[in-house]
Amino acid sequence: MRLFIDSYLRLFRVVFKTFTSTGSTVAPLTRRRLVFLAWFIPFLFFGQLLHWIGLMLDHVFFPGFRKIKVRDPLFVVGIPRSGTTFLQRLLTADTSRFTTMTLGEITVAPSITERVVWRALGRIDAAIGGFGRRVANRFDKRLFQEVSKIHPLSLFEPDEDELVMLPTFTSPNLAWIFPVEEELWKYTNFDEDTPPAEQRQLIEFYKGCVQRHLYFHGPEKHYFAKNPSFSVKLEALRAVFPDMKVICTSRTPYEAVPSTISLGAFYWKSFGNDDEGRTMIDPMTRLAGSYYRHPIKVLPQWPENSHAFMRYTELVERPMESVLQVMDRLGIELSDVHRAHLSKRQEKARGWKSTHHYSMGSLGIDENFIRDNFRDVLEYFDYPIHEEETGAKLHPSPKSGNAKEPTVA
The per-residue DSSP string of 357-381 comes to ----GGGT--HHHHHHHHHHHHHHT
Q: Is 178 helix (H, G, I), strand (E, B) or coil?
A: coil
Residues of the chain scoring pLDDT < 50: 351-352, 356-357, 395-409
Q: Beta strand pairing status for 245-250 and 222-226? A: unpaired
pLDDT at 388: 63
What is the predicted pLDDT for the residue at 386?
75
CA distances from 18 to 33, 120, 184, 253, 313 (A): 11, 40, 12, 32, 41
Report the distance separating Cα 58 and Cα 205, nearest Å. Answer: 13
Tell me phi and psi for residue 191, to 5 degrees. Answer: -60, -30
In this structure, are residues 211 and 70 in contact, taking their beta carbons and an 8 Å threshold?
yes
Judged by DSSP in three states, 307 sits in strand
- In one letter, which amino acid is 18? T
Rounded CA-CA distance 397/326 in Å is: 27
| Global confidence as pTM | 0.87
Q: Is 246 helix (H, G, I), strand (E, B) or coil?
A: strand
**Residues contacting residue 60 through CB under 8 Å, at least 6 positions apart:** none
Select from 29, 39, 44, 25 the least CA-distant residue to 272.
29
CA distance 309 to 409: 7
- Options 3.20.20.70, 3.30.2010.30, 3.40.50.2000, 3.40.50.300; which CATH number does 2-390 get? 3.40.50.300
Count of CB atoms situated within 10 Å of the CB of 326: 21
For residue 407, the model assigns a pLDDT of 30
pLDDT of residue 213: 97
Q: What is the pLDDT of residue 244?
A: 96
Burial class (CB in 10 A: 0-12, 13-18, 19+), 110: buried
Type of residue at 386: H
Cis amide prior to 396 (ω within 30 degrees): yes
Instruction: Return d(Cα 183, Cα 15) in angstroms, integer.
Output: 10
Q: d(Cα 91, Cα 97) in Å, to the nearest integer? A: 10
Is-contact 75 223, C-beta < 8 A?
no
pLDDT at 401: 34
What per-residue confidence (pLDDT) applies to 286? Answer: 87
Task: Tell me the backbone φ, ψ of residue 160, rounded to 5 degrees.
Answer: -75, 115
Domain ranges of the chain: 2-390
pLDDT tens figures, 62-116: 999 999 999 999 999 999 888 888 888 888 888 888 899 999 999 999 999 999 9
Q: How far apart are CA 166 and CA 171, in angstroms?
A: 6
| Closest residue by Cα to residue 355 from 396, 402, 394, 393 | 396
pLDDT at 198: 93
Q: How far apart are CA 130 and CA 122, in angstroms?
A: 8
Helices (H), 62-111: 84-91, 103-107
Q: How far is CA 250 from the centre of its chain?
A: 15
Indicate if the alpha-carbon torsion angle 18, 21, 22, 27 is positive or negative.
positive
Helix (H, G, I), strand (E, B) or coil at 225: strand
